[in-house]
């Protein structure tokens, strides 16, 4: 055994980390190429990036298969412990305002720029080269390692992680999932509700047949859909302020200041002209909770309020859609998988880092709902400009992430 910094490592670990260091230039080149392939969601055109990823898995002899543009490779054989590596290929749109080419993959000052360079193509690159390092270092895995490069995370994961798990295309008893901050492993995740509210009114001329109360109404009067959405918005504002009163007790990753649940009124559409009573209004919102706050009671309060609105306003025609609802996730810090992840992070960063919490929505819940122990680790830092112009990833974080993936497989499947 040899001491590296403050961490005691055996020869196999040192060989594995040295192998990744020797692949640094190859890792950078591959990541640049991955970023140069647009995979925005929408429009969800994934064929080119799926083909590129499959070709890399074939080169690494991971026996890849492609299902609905999700690319899955395997290493090792089924055993008591089976681990899934997860990263997602899709990105949000590039949007405007870049000073760099969003699909250039430029390397400047040890940063790789481009849409998805951090979220979440960094985890695709890390999992692929972690698998390569395990092969090159001839590590004998006592279990199966599944390498999953999935799509559609940015729109909820229904055609990606959910589909792969539902059809039993991938399986395991533990998942190391990317798409999260660097440094601290994420063991505590928030719950979420994605909700859409649709109010249907009655379009009419805004002056000749306005939306007026009795006794001024007649059969030609309008029903203002936007106006009838306002009480619900006010209710959601009040609920948001109430949820904000409780802080999570769990540590947060560096640079992530939010310690409270939130309701984000993300999109609203309605009406078409100043002289017309709007006949329809859509409101899309997301509710993200800290681990301590259950989602079920929040859902019931919203539905009960909508019922109350209907009772108070006989003209109200409202539909509620909640396509994605999931509860928070909590890690067992004493489990073999949790200890494997924490040991890997400690080796790479030279210090023990506590399990932290991450409130933003990821695909983690799909795995947790299947009883698969899931821990997150990624490359995201506040300054990486994820989902904004000039997104980038630090090369050092990309290499560290690759090492954490490789070491976790080594420890968990040894």
Domain encompassing residue 275: 192-326
pLDDT at 2 over 80: no
Same domain? For 201 and 312 the reply is yes
Same domain? For 163 and 42 the reply is yes
Same domain? For 149 and 219 the reply is no
The number of CA neighbours under 13 Å toward the Cβ of 159 is 15
Same domain? For 365 and 379 the reply is yes
**What's the rounded mean pLDDT across residues 21-42?**
98
Quick one: what percent of the chain has pLDDT higher than 90? 92
Same domain? For 29 and 174 the reply is yes
Of the pLDDT bands very low, low, confident and very high (cuts 50, 70, 90), residue 7 is low
Supply the CATH number for residue 199's domain.
Answer: 3.30.70.360
Pick from 278, 306, 326: which residue ends a domain?
326
Per-residue pLDDT, 1? 38
Exposed, middle or buried, 185 (CB in 10 Å: 0-12/13-18/19+)? Answer: buried
Of the pLDDT bands very low, low, confident and very high (cuts 50, 70, 90), residue 5 is very low
Same domain? For 30 and 108 the reply is yes
Same domain? For 157 and 205 the reply is no
Same domain? For 204 and 183 the reply is no
C-alpha 146: how far from chain center: 19
- pLDDT, one tens digit per residue, over 110-130 is 999 999 999 999 999 999 999
Same domain? For 206 and 144 the reply is no
- pLDDT, one tens digit per residue, over 161-197 is 999 999 999 999 999 999 999 999 999 999 999 999 9
Same domain? For 311 and 407 the reply is no
**Which positions ≥6 away from 348 have C-beta within 8 Å?**
400, 403, 404, 407
Quick one: what percent of the chain has pLDDT higher than 70? 98
Sheet of strand 111-113: strand arrangement: 107-108, 111-113, 392-394
- pLDDT, one tens digit per residue, over 370-407 is 999 999 999 999 999 999 999 999 999 999 999 999 99
**What's the rounded mean pLDDT across residues 312-340?**
96
Pick from 326, 348, 365: which residue ends a domain?
326
Q: Which own/partner pairs from 329-333 qualify as long-range (CB within 8 Å, at least 24 positions apart)?
A: 329/188, 329/189, 329/291, 329/364, 329/365, 329/368, 329/374, 330/187, 330/188, 330/291, 331/187, 331/188, 331/355, 331/373, 331/375, 332/373, 333/187
Pick from 291, 326, 361: which residue ends a domain?
326
Supply the CATH number for residue 165's domain.
Answer: 3.40.630.10
Evaluate whether 283 touches 268 at the Cβ level (below 8 Å). Answer: yes
Same domain? For 46 and 161 the reply is yes
Same domain? For 45 and 150 the reply is yes
Count of domains forming the chain? 2
- pLDDT, one tens digit per residue, over 253-293 is 878 778 999 999 999 999 999 999 999 999 999 999 999 99
């Amino acid at each position: 055994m040899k001491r590296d910094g403050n961490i005691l490592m055996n020869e196999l670990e040192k060989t594995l980390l040295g192998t990744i260091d020797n692949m640094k230039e190859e890792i950078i080149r591959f990541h640049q190429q991955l970023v140069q392939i647009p995979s925005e969601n929408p429009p969800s055109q994934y064929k080119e990036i799926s083909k590129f990823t499959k070709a890399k898995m074939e080169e690494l002899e991971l026996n890849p298969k492609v299902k609905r543009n999700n690319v899955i490779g395997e290493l090792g054989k089924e055993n008591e412990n089976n681990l899934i590596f997860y990263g997602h290929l899709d990105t949000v749109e590039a949007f405007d305002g870049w000073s760099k080419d969003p699909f250039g993959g430029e390397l400047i000052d040890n940063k790789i720029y481009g849409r998805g360079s951090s979220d979440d193509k960094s985890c695709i690159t890390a999992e692929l080269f972690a698998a390569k390092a395990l092969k090159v270092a001839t590590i004998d895995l006592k279990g199966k390692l599944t390498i999953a490069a999935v799509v559609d995370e940015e729109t909820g994961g229904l055609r990606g992680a959910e589909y792969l798990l539902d059809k039993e295309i991938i399986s395991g008893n533990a998942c190391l999932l990317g798409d999260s901050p660097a440094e601290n492993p994420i063991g505590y995740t928030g719950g979420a509700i994605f909700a859409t509210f649709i109010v249907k009114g009655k379009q009419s001329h805004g002056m000749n047949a306005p939306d007026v109360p009795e006794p001024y109404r007649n059969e030609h009067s309008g029903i203002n859909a936007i106006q009838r959405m306002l009480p619900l918005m006010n209710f959601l504002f009040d609920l948001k302020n109430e949820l904000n009163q409780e802080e999570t007790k769990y540590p947060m990753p560096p640079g992530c200041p939010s310690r409270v649940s939130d309701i984000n009124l993300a999109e609203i559409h309605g009406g078409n002209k100043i002289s017309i009573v709007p006949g329809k209004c859509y409101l899309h919102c997301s509710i993200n909770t800290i681990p301590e706050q259950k989602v079920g009671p929040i859902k019931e309060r919203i539905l009960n309020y909508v019922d109350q609105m209907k009772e108070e306003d006989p003209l109200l025609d409202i539909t509620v859609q909640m396509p994605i609802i999931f509860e928070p996730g909590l890690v067992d810090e004493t489990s073999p998988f949790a200890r494997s992840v924490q040991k890997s992070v400690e080796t790479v960063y030279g210090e023990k880092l506590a399990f932290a919490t991450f409130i933003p929505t990821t695909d983690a819940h799909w795995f947790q709902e299947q009883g698969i122990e899931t821990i997150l680790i990624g490359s995201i830092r506040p300054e990486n400009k994820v989902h904004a112009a000039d997104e980038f990833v630090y090369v050092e974080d990309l290499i560290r992430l690759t090492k954490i993936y490789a070491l976790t497989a080594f420890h968990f499947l040894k």
